[in-house]
């Protein structure tokens, strides 16, 4: 009988940790005291088992619980439920990591393109990639399209919607997508660039299906999705049934649960189909540490059975001047996302954009 190994960080006194770990294993499997279970199959194959307990720091322990693969039904929502359903309500427990057996991983396709596929689409076999955002929201579609052209002409690889853009009256989705895609195609004709535009898809399942239809009709080459906002199962289904282009995953609302970011953004978003994953970079306007960013990038890129690696996309208050530092930190398999630092240039935006792309190219690590 195969088990998923889920690692939880548990706050407890040393004298209580064994009992707390056993209670966690029961909560995440059968939700009953062990003495209430008489069926031999349930006791032997369904009840969660404590596989290990290791001290992390004072009154913090890493507890590994083995959960039966059969309890997931290989369904995305049910898998998340078994990993961190009831226990997400316990303030002393955080989900840190998950190891899936090969038979489980084989049920999920992972990224359709991954790092190599993105590089092929962009004709960029080795260098770090670049990304910027169309913002602020509130601008009309024509102005967003003009920004899109400027970024593409300046050599940016991926131009994404600000994740706050949806289907607002000032830049309706269908109008905005058509205008920005035409602007990108004009830059391609006039400047020979290979940029991809990634509009933000957000809304109800019916809205998402219609937005997916629009991006296919317009020939859009990439999409931006926020898995935590859409719902993890809806994200997985949308990616693999309605989207045929690379997926850039956004972390909006992903900080609303006690799940380790390297696991949620780096591994689970990747498992469910994200080709590239945005996350807050250290030293920016969010509180992620350098070590957490290193772990997250590692989780996105590490060998993992047949699952393709996803591209890490550090973002959040970054500047052009940090390009060399960040390429040194992450290596070449990274996409640097800078938005506000470019847009603050005002009329000098074209020159600042070229400065960004040149700085990233110059920082490329030599093998």
SS3 93: strand
Q: Is the confidence at residue 367, as pLDDT, over 50?
A: no
Q: What is the CATH number of domain 3-105?
A: 3.30.70.150
Q: What is the CATH number of domain 114-363?
A: 3.20.20.110
Sorting pLDDT into bands at 50, 70 and 90, what band is 255? confident
Q: Which of 272, 268, 244, 270 is nearest to 257 (CA)?
A: 268
Q: Where are the domains of the chain?
A: 3-105, 114-363
Q: Pairing relation of β-strands 158-161 and 129-134?
A: parallel
- Residues whose CB is less than 8 angstroms from the CB of residue 124 and which lie 6 or more positions away in sequence, other chains included: 157, 194
**C-alpha separations of 9 from 94, 193, 196 in Å:** 5, 47, 40
What counts of helices (H) and strands (E) characterise the chain? Answer: 16, 12
pLDDT single digits (tens) 173-200: 999 999 999 999 999 999 999 999 999 9
Per the listing, tokens 């396709």 go with 109
pLDDT single digits (tens) 17-51: 999 999 999 999 999 999 999 999 999 999 999 99
pTM: 0.94
pLDDT, residue 366, reads 64
């Amino acid at each position: 009988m195969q088990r998923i190994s889920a690692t939880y960080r548990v706050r407890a006194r040393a004298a209580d940790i064994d009992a707390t770990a056993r209670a966690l294993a029961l909560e995440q499997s059968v939700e009953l005291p062990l003495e209430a279970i008489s069926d031999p199959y349930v006791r032997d194959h369904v009840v969660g088992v404590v596989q290990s307990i290791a001290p992390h720091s004072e009154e913090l322990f890493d507890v590994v619980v083995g959960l039966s693969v059969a309890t997931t039904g290989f369904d995305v929502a049910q898998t998340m439920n078994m990993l961190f359903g009831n226990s997400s309500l316990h303030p002393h427990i955080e989900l840190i990591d998950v190891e899936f057996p090969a038979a489980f991983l084989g049920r999920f396709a992972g990224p359709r393109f991954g790092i190599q596929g993105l590089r092929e689409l962009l004709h960029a076999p080795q260098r770090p990639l670049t990304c910027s955002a169309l913002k602020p929201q509130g601008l009309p579609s024509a102005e967003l399209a003009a920004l899109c052209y400027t970024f593409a002409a300046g050599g940016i690889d991926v131009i994404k919607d600000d994740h706050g853009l949806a289907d607002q009256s000032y830049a309706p989705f269908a109008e905005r997508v058509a205008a920005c895609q035409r602007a990108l195609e004009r830059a391609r004709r006039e400047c020979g660039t290979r940029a991809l535009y990634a509009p933000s898809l957000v809304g109800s399942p019916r809205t998402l299906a219609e937005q997916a239809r629009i991006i296919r009709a317009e020939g859009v080459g990439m999409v931006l999705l926020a898995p935590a906002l859409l719902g993890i199962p809806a994200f997985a289904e949308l990616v693999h049934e309605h989207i045929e282009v690379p997926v850039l995953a956004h972390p909006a609302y992903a900080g609303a649960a006690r799940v380790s970011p390297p696991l949620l953004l780096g591994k689970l978003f990747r498992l469910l189909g994200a080709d590239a994953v945005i996350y807050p970079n250290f030293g920016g306007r969010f509180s992620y540490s350098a070590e957490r960013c290193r772990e997250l990038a590692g989780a996105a890129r590490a060998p993992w059975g047949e699952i393709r690696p996803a591209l890490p996309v550090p973002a959040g208050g970054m500047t052009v001047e940090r390009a060399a530092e960040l390429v040194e930190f992450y290596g070449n398999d990274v996409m640097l996302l800078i938005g506000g630092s470019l847009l603050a240039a005002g009329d000098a935006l074209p020159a600042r954009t070229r400065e960004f792309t040149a700085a990233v190219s110059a920082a490329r690590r030599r093998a």
